[in-house]
Structure 1
Amino acid sequence: MPGVRRLLLLVLVVPLLASCSEPWRAADGLMPTATPSAPAPSVVASSPAGPAAPEAVEAVSACSLTGVLITADRGDAAAGYREMGLHIRNCGTEPYELRGRPDIVVLDEDGRPLKISVEASRHYTAAPGRLVLKPGAGAMAVLSWRNTVTSISGGVDTGESLAVAVSEGGMRQLVTLPSTLDLGNTGRLETSAWF
């Protein structure tokens, strides 16, 4: 009888474990669905205390899935005003078309999205256009923000990484930042168009 009980336990537990291993999918439609032949995208975990982060493809596998690689530079700071370059490179073998602005979600140190409004830059005002990147070519956008704190009782927002899509609705890449986005409590980040 002990052998039958073990077999019954395996029959019940294995499907339960398999169902727990399914990748989490957002109900809000922000997350892309990976094709079965593509490497599985990484998932930024959600927390009961905050909203779930959109799924982002790790940078090391981004080229094989999207044909481009997005990185950030250290940026510059002066008198509370900050800028950081967001760079995109066509690492594929075909031309890649860019339109508009990057679609950005700012993530905290635990990978959860911060409530940050990402808006068109007031400093880099060139209208979004169409760019075609040949293989190996690149472009950039400039992120800008103010490190302003207007309340001593409230917390401040610090972005540790970004989930970035080339344009709205695209597949996101997880972009590691060489320095944090010290956004104060403005709740605002600006981005230029790709140029």
Structure 2
Amino acid sequence: MRGLRRLSLLLLVVPLLTSCTEPWEDGGLMPVAPSSDPVPSVVAPTTTGPVAPEAIESVSACSLLGVLITAERGDAAAGYREMGLNVKNCGSKPYEVRGRPDIVVLDEDGRPLKVSVVPSVHYTAGPGRLVLKPGEGARAVLSWRNTVTDTGGGADFGVSLAVAVSKGEMRQLVTLPSRMDLGNTRRLQAGVWS
């Protein structure tokens, strides 16, 4: 009698296990044929966001590059903002400055913001070439509007900049004296060095 119970129990369990391990269609009436398509693999992202460009800290910029870039506090009026960016030759040789500064705006975590840097419409001098003697400097003016047009998207705040004196050169990390309140225009205008 015991052997019969065990056999009955086994006959009930095997179909249950089989139904749990095989996929079925239409309420379990037909088994699904195995797919010949490979199972896609999930790749975990290697970073949590955009990576900031490599930039030299300002404390070592003079010794490594021979120039130091600093930002002024800036002025604001009716939503229009301006900030001066200064470059000084702190080395012992002449230093050539061309065109506009090459800028990436960084947030409080040091990540790049999606901000387009475009030529200034207020400071319209054409790009030129300056040779700064040791101790001499030049200035470029940054300008923007802190307009918020997308109320659901928040606003962008730049806390620092990664700046190259000219395109293709080594960048310096420039800490801003006050936050750059860009609204959500995602646009920054830059004048040429003068």
TM-score, normalization by structure 2: 0.75
What one-letter code is carried by the residue in structure 1 that aligns with 2:125?
A
Equivalent residue, structure 2, for 1:116: 115
- The offset of 1:64, in angstroms, is 1.1
What one-letter code is carried by the residue in structure 2 that aligns with 1:87?
N
Please state if 1:144 is matched with 2:143.
yes
Query: For the aligned residues, what is the CA RMSD?
Result: 0.9
Q: How does 1:17-36 map to 2 (within 5 A)?
A: none
- What percent identity do the matched residue pairs reach? 75
Equivalent residue, structure 1, for 2:54: 55
Equivalent residue, structure 1, for 2:89: 90
- The offset of 1:167, in angstroms, is 0.8
Equivalent residue, structure 1, for 2:79: 80
- The offset of 1:175, in angstroms, is 0.1
SS class of match (2:166): coil
Aligned residues: 149
Higher Cα Rg: structure 1 or 2? Answer: 2
What one-letter code is carried by the residue in structure 2 that aligns with 1:194?
W
Please list the CA deviations of residues 123-145 of structure 1 after superposition, one character each: whole Å capped at 9, or x if unmatched: 00000111111100000000000
- The offset of 1:48, in angstroms, is 3.1
SS class of match (1:61): helix
Please list the CA deviations of residues 92-125 of structure 1 after superposition, one character each: whole Å capped at 9, or x if unmatched: 0001111110000000000000000000000000
- The offset of 1:50, in angstroms, is 1.8
Q: How does 1:124-139 map to 2 (within 5 A)?
A: 124-139=123-138
- The offset of 1:90, in angstroms, is 0.2
- The offset of 1:49, in angstroms, is 3.4
Equivalent residue, structure 1, for 2:21: none
| Unaligned runs of at least 5 residues, structure 1 | 1-46
What one-letter code is carried by the residue in structure 2 that aligns with 1:184?
G
| Unaligned runs of at least 5 residues, structure 2 | 1-45
SS class of match (1:57): strand
2 CA distance for matches of 1:116 and 1:126? Answer: 22
Please list the CA deviations of residues 25-58 of structure 1 after superposition, one character each: whole Å capped at 9, or x if unmatched: xxxxxxxxxxxxxxxxxxxxxx933211101100
1 CA distance for matches of 2:181 and 2:47? Answer: 24
2 CA distance for matches of 1:151 and 1:166? Answer: 33
